[in-house]
Amino acid sequence: MKSTATAKKTFLAQASVLKRIGAFIVDLLIINIIILFPFRGVFESILPAAKFSEAFDFLRSPESSMILESIMIAVGILTMLYFMLLEKKIAQTPGKMLFSLFVKSQGKDLKNWQLFVRSMFLIPLFPFVLLWLIDPIVMLFTKENQRLSEILSRTKVVEQYQV
């Protein structure tokens, strides 16, 4: 008796905005656990457990704002590394895996500069924080649902289908 198993063909298509948002939320949850959670003790030790006005005065001091800025930059760098290393190694993050999404270069292979440009929005400094607003808006108005940082990096997120 012959086996009539047919080989499935794999296709790449434009990723849907909803799947991309879902994948990003999953990645943010993972980042919260592996990157932000370890900093919780540091935040609790520097921020006074007091009234809002006392906490606000504390945050206005140059020393405490410098400590918080340093922590934010460290968290931003670690978060960029999360995306860059996973996308370089396997073209996916855990969130993208869950939704069968992949990062693809418009050239041959993903380059380090492309991964950096894709992740610039994670740098918690001006002007990069503007990408928090600009990237999603651009994504909604481009034909292939690309963020501005993806257009600049010549990358896109695609979805894998098997039929």
- The pLDDT tens digits of the residues spanning 71-120 come to 888 888 999 999 999 999 999 999 999 999 999 999 889 999 999 999 99
Q: Which residue has the higher pLDDT, 12 or 116?
A: 116
Rounded to the nearest integer, the mean pLDDT of the chain is 85
Q: Inter-axis angle of helices 62-90 and 52-60, to 10 degrees?
A: 80
In angstroms, rounded to a whole number, what is the distance separating the alpha carbons of residues 44 and 38?
A: 11
Amino acid at 30: I
Give yes or no for residue 152 having a pLDDT over 80. Answer: yes
Give yes or no for residue 50 having a pLDDT over 70. Answer: no
Q: Which residue has the higher pLDDT, 51 or 127?
A: 127
Amino acid at 145: N
Give yes or no for residue 7 having a pLDDT over 70. Answer: yes
Contacts from 73-78 at CB under 8 Å and sequence distance 24+? 73/123, 73/124, 73/125, 74/39, 75/35, 75/36, 75/39, 75/124, 76/122, 76/123, 76/124, 76/125, 78/35
Q: What is the pTM of this model?
A: 0.80
pLDDT of residue 54: 67
Give yes or no for residue 17 having a pLDDT over 80. Answer: yes
Give yes or no for residue 64 having a pLDDT over 80. Answer: no
Q: Which residue has the higher pLDDT, 55 or 77?
A: 77
Compute how many other C-beta atoms are within 10 angstroms of the C-beta atom of residue 143. 6
In angstroms, rounded to a whole number, what is the distance separating the alpha carbons of residues 28 and 93?
A: 11
- Tell me the pLDDT band of 46, cut-offs 50, 70 and 90: low
